[in-house]
Structure 1
Amino acid sequence: MATSGPSAGGGAAAAKNSWPELVGLPSEDAKKKIKEDSPDANVQVVPADAFVTMDYNTGRVRVFVDSNDKVAKSPRIG
């Protein structure tokens, strides 16, 4: 039996859709990491208490920051 093919391991990793590890980092560091993982993402930095639209956009990642410009909650696609 052959051990190659899609089920043999390896292959491309699943696309990332959230970045919980970025909470607490400065917004610029978070933007850099998100762009590394999703180069085509439209990364938006917004205050944690800002009003934003509730539409779901697969090309957008919002980075909510506190008053010290630190990521306040896990950025995610949408």
Structure 2
Amino acid sequence: MAEEKQGHGINPSQVQPNEPLPRTYNQLLGTNNPTKTSWPELVGVTAQEAERKIKEEKSGAEIQVVPPDSFVTADYRTQRVRLYVDESNKVIRTPGIG
């Protein structure tokens, strides 16, 4: 008690809360499932494996396999994920939404 009178008590701003603060806007709203927009871990796997994994994580994804030296449109589509592959059908670039 004597310590608190001298200013050595607990500062309320230093007390740790019971729950951590939300790290994203989605967590603040009550969802803990932020939407994934790219899959760097799929570089080097086959197009079929990459397509399966992306569809597991993003239902409704429209997968587009892009062979070497192919042209693509510049439009942006929120459900499309392009898989750029080499001659052996392995992903060579990080797949991402667009």
The bucket for the TM-score relative to the shorter chain is 0.7 to 0.9
- The CA distance in 2 between the partners of 1:69 and 1:41, in whole Å, is 19
What residue number does 1:41 align with? 61
The unaligned stretches of length 5 or more in structure 2 are 1-16
What residue number does 2:85 align with? 65
What residue number does 1:27 align with? 47
Sequence identity of aligned pairs in percent?
A: 48
C-alpha displacement at 1:11, in angstroms?
A: 4.1
Aligned length in residues? 77
- The CA distance in 1 between the partners of 2:93 and 2:74, in whole Å, is 16
What residue number does 2:34 align with? 14
- Counterpart amino acid of residue 69 in structure 1: N
C-alpha displacement at 1:12, in angstroms?
A: 1.9
- The CA distance in 1 between the partners of 2:40 and 2:70, in whole Å, is 20
User: If the length of structure 1 is used for normalisation, what is the TM-score?
Assistant: 0.84
- Counterpart amino acid of residue 50 in structure 1: S
C-alpha displacement at 1:50, in angstroms?
A: 1.0
Runs in 1 of length 4+ with deviation above 3 angstroms? none
Larger radius of gyration: 2
The unaligned stretches of length 5 or more in structure 1 are none
Q: Which has the higher contact order (CA 8 A, sep 6+)?
A: 1
